[in-house]
Amino acid sequence: MRIGAQNLANEETPQYKIIAVDDEEGIIDSLSVFLERSGYNLVGVTDPVQAIERVRNEHFDLMLLDFIMTPLHGDQVVEEIRKFNKELYILLLTGHKDIAPPLETIKRLDIQGYCEKSDKFDQLLLLIESAIKSIDQMREIKRINNELSDANQKLENAYMESIQTLRYTVEAKDPYTRGHSDRVSEYSVLIGKKMGLSDEELDTLRVGGLFHDIGKIGVPDAILRKPDKLTDDEYSEIKNHPSIGAHILAPAAIFQNIIPIVKHHHEKYDGKGYPSQLKGEEIPLFARIAAVADTFDAMTSKRTYRDELPLERVIEEIERYKGTQFDPNIADVFLDILRNHYDEIQAIRDKYVSNESVLA
């Protein structure tokens, strides 16, 4: 009698679903009688091709798989299944140990065990019981991971909301920044798309643009709101905002990818920027992209001491500072957008219509 497996199958635990695949119908019948009598939910299949489709479309916890079959051998079946299902626990059945697949094949296909066929099922039953215990452990690990993932997601959402609140506080302190970060975010993504960056990279640009000026929370209001040209000391205070922003975001793992944007979007290609005087490709790529987007938005925004610059002047300025302030390749990409795809720029500007100006 198989008391251990009987208990596993009948206790108030999740039902285990087993698929047995063997091109001999007699083997399937014997397994079905024995395993179903023990409380397992068994599906028997004699066609290995059909078995692949069953696994593709249904959930199974365990597969009992014959090795020598037609039209596919067991290792070929596993090869197909592993293309779309990495979790299925597979036990391979062989008519004789001399025709079992090589050990390296078993490891490569992640076949968890195999045994020789026999009129008695003792060895197979032990392997099934062991498999069930492993499946239980994997279910528990998955449950714990899901709970941790949910908790981490809630923590990340809470932190993101806190940083968003800080961003809105900066905008409240400095009327010139209203809408600026949103536009810089979208201009950066537009440049990134033209450069062929991946969706993940574009998302980093998007979030980095939104929070690139978060450090202005640490700049005195009097300086942010000053309508006249800043003194050298006041400008030094403003120049602290990238480092302040990086410091604010540093404790949260979710912001690690955007910290280079926040910290280095005021570096210059010739090494004369701040805070680290990085030069050329020492400056992180996303920061070089954000620098172009940030400067463009500053030039095309109205200040108390000047109107927004016309497009022709903006193009002249970007051309003039290629290779000194801006990465020349990124500048060329943006110049192409300005000259040939300005409707995409205008669409972004139209989304954030405001009578307020921007202090970049």
Residues with catalytic roles? 216
Q: Which residue has the tokens 């003194």?
A: 231
Task: Dig out the tokens for 303 from the structure.
Answer: 């200040």
CB atoms within 10 A of CB 94: 18
Do strands 41-45 and 17-21 pair parallel, antiparallel, or not at all (unpaired)?
A: parallel
CA distance 318 to 323: 10
Task: Dig out the tokens for 105 from the structure.
Answer: 């094949």
Tell me the sheet residues that pair with 93.
Answer: 66, 115
Task: Dig out the tokens for 282 from the structure.
Answer: 């020492």
Smallest CA-to-CA distance from 241 within 297, 170, 327, 302 is with 170
Query: Any idea how long the chain is?
Result: 360
Helices (H), 92-220: 103-108, 122-173, 180-194, 199-211
Tell me the sheet residues that pair with 307.
Answer: none
The answer to whether 215 and 242 have CB atoms below 8 angstroms apart is yes
Smallest CA-to-CA distance from 62 within 32, 89, 35, 87 is with 89
